[in-house]
Amino acid sequence: MDLFITISKKIAERKIMMPKINFGRTEHTSSRVIFGGYALSQASQNEADQVLDLLLQYGINHIDTAPMYGNAEERIGLWMDQHREDFFLATKTRSRSYKGAWKDLECSLNRLKVDTIDLWQMHGLTNPVGWEKAMGPEGTLEAFIETRDQGLVRFLGVTGHGYKVPKMHLQSLERFDFDTVLLPYNYLFMQNSRYVAAFNELIELCNKRNIAVQTIKSIARRPWEGTRNFNTYFYEPLATQIAIDKSVHWSFGLSESFLVTAGDMQLLPKMLDAAKRFAKRPSETEMKAIVDEYDIKKIFSN
């Protein structure tokens, strides 16, 4: 946290406004950077409150969390009494059943200390068997529609990790008109031709329907090797400012998309600093150099 505190102090006396655009059809004007709540999974409340100060300084007005993110919902919940109107609040359910999803939502509402969730998402919806259950009778989708109709949630989305996500999101959007999608997007992912084909098809559909696109894994470096020095679950992250700059700027090059920050408090100030300085996407030559210098590798198998 030392770096986090140092950078936080440097910006404490000035407001840095992150670029904001419409979050799909929701009518929310969202910061293009979304705070990834997994960063608070092991945080104390004091550490979480330092994160809140940083988000407010940068003008971040959108939080993404989940009940399986350790302490995150409880830490965020203590912000909501004073700051509910400052944030578009998203959470998730991993349940594939109607009853399980309802239970998850009730727990999230309680931990977050709110009456309404702005965006509720089906978490990691990529397994075909789980997909059929979630979309079928007594499945998650029935709970989603019901809770939205009752005003407990405002918008609905799907998320996923790995190379089959774009294809599964397309399948989900054939079944139901979700408001948002969330999926991996970085330079190395987009070197996979099959991923690119499905990704581009998904983006075209989202643009046509005004569905918000959220991206993750922007600063993924490689699968974990040895000691884990950062709180990122799936991967070892890039950690130097120059590598984070190039990677964040490359992901920001996807027009009208939103970047969810990595799940580590130490990396958050660097990602925010990179995002506020975005001007243009780095060249192919620049990105290839970053891949070589930092030994960037695939974090998922095909």
What span, in angstroms and rounded, lies between the C-alpha atoms of 66 and 225? 26
Tell me the per-residue pLDDT of 149-197, one tens digit each, with 9 for 90 and over. Answer: 999 999 999 999 999 999 999 999 999 999 999 999 999 999 999 999 9
Q: Which domain holds residue 176?
A: 2-293
Tell me the per-residue pLDDT of 75-91, one tens digit each, with 9 for 90 and over. Answer: 999 999 999 999 999 99
- Residue 299 falls inside a structural domain: no
Q: Which pLDDT value is given to residue 234?
A: 86
What span, in angstroms and rounded, lies between the C-alpha atoms of 49 and 55? 10
How crowded is the C-beta side of 51, counted as CA atoms within 13 Å?
31
Per the structure, the count of domains in the chain is 1
Q: Which pLDDT value is given to residue 1?
A: 52
Residue 7 in this model has a pLDDT that exceeds 80 = no
- Residue 300 falls inside a structural domain: no
Q: Which pLDDT value is given to residue 281?
A: 98
E strand or H helix at 118, and its extent? Answer: strand 117-122
- Residue 97 falls inside a structural domain: yes
- Residue 298 falls inside a structural domain: no
Q: Which pLDDT value is given to residue 11?
A: 47
Number of helices (H) and strands (E) in the chain: give both, helices first: 12, 12
- Residue 121 falls inside a structural domain: yes
- Dihedral sign (CA 222, 227, 229, 232): positive
- Residue 40 falls inside a structural domain: yes
CATH number at residue 250: 3.20.20.100
In the predicted model, what is the mean pLDDT of the chain?
A: 94
- Residue 302 falls inside a structural domain: no
Q: How confident is residue 15, by pLDDT bands cut at 50, 70 and 90?
A: low
